[in-house]
Structure 1
Amino acid sequence: MATAEKSGEIAINMSETKASTKGKAPLLNSSKAFAVVEPPNRGAKRGIAIGDFFLRLCALGAALGAAISMGTADQLLPFTTQFLQFEAQYDDFDAFRYFVISLAMVTGYLLLSLPFSIVCIIRPLATAPRLFLVIFDSVS
């Protein structure tokens, strides 16, 4: 290292070593300066979004099927003899009524969340729809 004084300024000559360039990105050529660099995990996020959409469709079908089958259930339960029978419907018990109403709400939520899941497939790097889904999935 050598120092030189010129008109009140001090110049320090330093030679560049390998240790000083360690961790720095190499300089780009002017032809590559405008190249679009795609993040390496974009495909992985798209795959996760497709899996999320598929799971939402499966959950929608299961919740809708359970709500319909429970809401339209009408069974006769025999009690000791064939002449004395008890008819049971989902309205007879509060727990079954709650079950049907909650499944209907879950079905509605899953139906409304499908467009946000599609947005996550189309734009895998968008964080707002993914955050929306995570928050509302946690609430429901």
Structure 2
Amino acid sequence: MKSGQAEIAETSKGIQKRGLMSRKIAIFEFILRIIAFFNTISSAILMATTNETLPFFTQFIRFHADYNDLPALTFFVVANAVVSGYLILTLPLAFVHIVKKKTENSRILLIILDVAMVGLLASGAASAAAIVYLAHKGNNNTNWFPVCQQFNSFCERISGSLIGSFIAVALLIFLIILSAIALSRRH
């Protein structure tokens, strides 16, 4: 009789530990979503406000660099804006994961949507990275000259924006892994 009660007590403690661990994971996911939001929104704002004008020979002839001159950088801004909107919209659902215990369906939904957002954000960041690379290094075969020697401020801002976006990609991947761990601990 006593061994049965001991087994029940051990099982109860194990369930409580799993519940506490799931709650800790949910709190960590909530915090990571907030951090990823700030990375994506700051990347979008930094890129969207980037421009630089340089005089050429006279003050009447000027060269202007703006993010929307290149479709890849425009796509980058849109992708970051969409993902930051998504992250804000998922915060209430992530909060529900902290409060409730039975959240398997919403976790599965978040995993699917997070994977889609990783794809969108990674493709936007990769396309912008190609442009940033060309701006820094150029391409002698196609007569693309490195413009970062002239447009230094422009290149620094787009490079910083790119770093923030890639950090957000890593955070979203980590969120997917955490959600999968939280799901596997429930069963």
Given that 1:67 and 1:100 are in contact with CA atoms closer than 8 Å, whether structure 2 keeps it comes out as yes
Q: TM-score, length-normalised on structure 1?
A: 0.67
Q: State yes or no: 1:106 paired with 2:76.
A: no
**What's the offset of the Cα at 1:49?**
0.7
Q: Which letter maps to 2:38?
A: G
1:59 aligned to which of 36, 47, 55: 36
Residue 115 of structure 2 is matched in structure 1 by 138
- The structure with more radius of gyration: 1
| Aligned Cα root-mean-square deviation (Å) | 2.2
CA distance change for structure 1 residues 59 and 78 in 2, over 3 Å: closer, same or farther?
farther
Gaps in structure 2 of 5+ consecutive residues: 118-187
Identity %: 33
**What's the offset of the Cα at 1:88?**
1.1
**What's the offset of the Cα at 1:129?**
1.6
Q: Which letter maps to 1:62?
A: N
Q: Which letter maps to 2:31?
A: F
Given that 1:42 and 1:125 are in contact with CA atoms closer than 8 Å, whether structure 2 keeps it comes out as no
CA distance change for structure 1 residues 114 and 82 in 2, over 3 Å: closer, same or farther?
farther
2:26 aligned to which of 46, 49, 56: 49
1:115 aligned to which of 81, 92, 109: 92
Which portions of structure 1, spanning 4 or more consecutive aligned residues, are displaced by more than 6 angstroms? none
Distance in 2 between residues matched to 1:113 and 1:77, nearest whole Å: 42
Distance in 2 between residues matched to 1:82 and 1:41, nearest whole Å: 70
**What's the offset of the Cα at 1:86?**
1.2
**What's the offset of the Cα at 1:59?**
0.6
Distance in 2 between residues matched to 1:89 and 1:109, nearest whole Å: 26
Higher relative contact order (CA 8 A, sep 6+): 2
Q: Which letter maps to 2:105?
A: A
Q: Which has the higher strand share?
A: 1
Residue 129 of structure 1 is matched in structure 2 by 106
Aligned length: 108
Q: Which has the higher helix share?
A: 2
Distance in 2 between residues matched to 1:46 and 1:115, nearest whole Å: 15
Q: State yes or no: 1:95 paired with 2:72.
A: yes
| Cα distance per residue 1:27-74 (max 9 Å; x no partner) | 55xxxx9xxx46130010111111111111001001101111111222
Given that 1:119 and 1:129 are in contact with CA atoms closer than 8 Å, whether structure 2 keeps it comes out as no
